[in-house]
Amino acid sequence: MATIITDLKETFRRGNIYIQLIYINVAVFILTTLTEVMFQLFNRSIAGVFEWLELPASVLRFILQPWSLLTYMFMHAGFMHILFNMLWLYWFGALFLSFFSAKHLRGVYILGGICGGLLYMAAYNIFPYFRPMTDDSFMLGASASVLAIVAATAYREPNYPIRLLLFGTIRLKYLALIVIGTDLLFITSSNAGGHIAHLGGALAGVWFAASLSKGSDLTSWINKCLDTLVSIVSFKPRKPKMKVHYGTGKQKDYDYNARKKAQSDEIDRILDKLKKSGYERLQRKRKACSTRVNVKPMENGKRKMKNENITATLIFSFHLSIFNYYNEASR
């Protein structure tokens, strides 16, 4: 069991940001489901307890639990609910990272959830159709966050081809429009709050991508808050800095630069000398070879030229060895 937990921790640590988000969602779902099952075995219900982690439509109830604007996007109502949300997060999270950074994905996930939740609360308190349901309505799920990722990617690369089973290849912008259009058509259905949140998340994704194309990152404040929170949670006492002393005296910058320049000049002098002597020797041997070719068989001429090529290769290798030696010594 300990090995499994260790493996999961290592996979979480090394995984991409969308993998980490999936891990968090699944962990919350398993924990809440197991807790509910344990209480049901003793004929007890704790459904009211989890409502404090879900987003209420009532503004008065929200004032009592403002944290639910963040926690609701990690809660799910059942296995199929979390399954399809995580599949969409897995597919489009990987695609999102092809055009944006990991911190952008993390920020868009939170931004989409916040905007989806706020639009859900606003609609239930503004439109008369939803007012009778306001006091008893709660929302949960990562759909708004996932739709924000989908919409941002579709805005960035609208013509990206997506292969769908039974439908073939479709451009990403059309897929996003189909999903958003479906939410608009079913905005008064039994899952009205979910469809409204989807629209809020999609708007947040488009808002983010459009702003980023103009040089403004809407997720910067979210990532700063998350980085601060992570640093607080994973706080470790600082170890005293180790002082390293090199030699007995301190080397000044101009002394170091002078020594380095002297080494460079020495390298240039040696290379010029080797180049000049090697070139003159090669020229002399070429002349001797051309003279011998007229009076000796071709085999000797071939042997001479072969030896000259080997000599030139050795000289070039020697140049490189000296150059590499001085480079290593100056580091």
The model's pLDDT over 105-138, given as tens digits with 9 standing for 90+, comes to 999 999 999 999 999 999 999 999 999 999 999 9
Give me the mean pLDDT over the 4-17 stretch. 77
Instruction: Kindly report the pTM of this predicted structure.
Output: 0.70
What was the pLDDT predicted at 230? 85
Mean pLDDT of 176-190: 93
Q: For 21-28, which contacts have Cβ atoms below 8 Å and span 24 or more sequence positions?
A: 21/89, 21/93, 21/106, 21/109, 22/86, 22/89, 22/90, 24/74, 25/74, 25/76, 25/82, 25/85, 25/86, 25/89, 25/142, 26/82, 26/86, 28/74, 28/75, 28/76
pLDDT of 203 strictly over 90: yes
Render pLDDT for 20-75 as a digit per residue (tens, 0 to 9). Answer: 999 999 999 999 999 999 999 998 888 788 999 999 999 999 999 999 999 999 99
pLDDT value of residue 207? 97
Cβ atoms within 10 Å of 148's Cβ, excluding its own: 34
Residue with the bigger pLDDT between 50 and 306: it is 50
pLDDT of residue 102 exceeding 80, the answer is yes
Region 309-327 average pLDDT: 39
- Dihedral sign of CA atoms 93, 98, 101, 102 in order: positive
Asked if 179 and 197 touch (Cβ cutoff 8 Å), the reply is no
